[in-house]
Amino acid sequence: MRTMLSALSVFVVLSTAASAQEVPPKSDIQLNPTGGDEIGFVFQAWLSPQQQGGEETDTPALTPEVFRSTSDSVDRNDRPSRGHGTLSFTRDFSKAYAHVAVEGVELDDITMFHIHCGRPGQLGPIIVDFGLKHDLAEVFTDGVLSLEITNEDIVAASEQGHGIVGAFTAGCPIVLANPLDRVVTIAGMAQIAFERELYFNLHTTGQTFFGDIRGQLHPVE
């Protein structure tokens, strides 16, 4: 009997030790499921004409009319336009917020304002088109824009393009190996931002193809 009790005691000790090892150690982070709607990640960009990948005179001959300038263009080094903007994400990546201030730009001349994916100097596709739901001359009140971005805005941008042109201008690929598999979430856009391949681009009547001012987004330290 004593032998059986000793064996049972050893089994209980070993079982308890095994169970203890299966429970991972806790971190020092205080768990807070409702804290996801707080701002967690912020990026910023200074917009300038010099970040554009080319002059309007470099617009390809086969460019559709919607992307062509309708007034006289001004060389990059001669434009007074400037801007500064932030793009912030909630911790749970349910929403993002864009705040952008511009100077030296005639607000009535603004034709498009986008967030694109692409490396510096690269003319990349559109991931957010602020003109789909808003009158840009109105939302740039006193030269300042402040708008919320949701998954629906990213999906709308990816679906607005049709045909060959749309395939290259609307929606950002999750991976380059599969360009038809587009980013459709705020989390996906944040991933591109972390890779430093996201930028603001403001287009005007005189600078429609490349845009008037552009700003590559970088994380705020």
Residue 221 pLDDT more than 90?
Answer: no
Which residue is associated with the tokens 């602020």? 130
Mean pLDDT of 188-193: 95
Domain range holding 154? 36-219
- Residues of the chain with pLDDT > 70, as a percent, come to 84
Residue 80 lies in a domain: yes
What mean pLDDT comes out for the span 104-119?
A: 95
Q: CA torsion 97→165→67→54, rounded to 10°? A: 80
4 occurs within a structural domain: no
Report DSSP state, residue 107: G
For position 17, what pLDDT does the model report?
A: 52
| 214 belongs to a structural domain | yes
- Is it the case that residue 163 has pLDDT exceeding 70? no
- Residue 74 domain-assigned (yes or no): yes
**Mean pLDDT calculated for residue range 33-61:** 94
- Does position 119 have pLDDT exceeding 90, yes or no? yes
Q: Is residue 162 part of a domain?
A: yes
Flag whether 190 is in a domain.
yes
Domain membership of residue 10 (yes or no) is no
Q: How many domains does the chain have?
A: 1
pLDDT-based confidence at 181, cuts 50/70/90? Answer: confident
R_g over Cα of the chain: 25
**Domain for residue 42, yes or no?**
yes
pLDDT value at residue 43:
98
What's this model's pTM, rounded to 2 decimal places?
0.83
Q: Name the token pair of 50.
A: 């010099």
Separation between Cα atoms, residue 130 and residue 139, nearest integer Å: 9
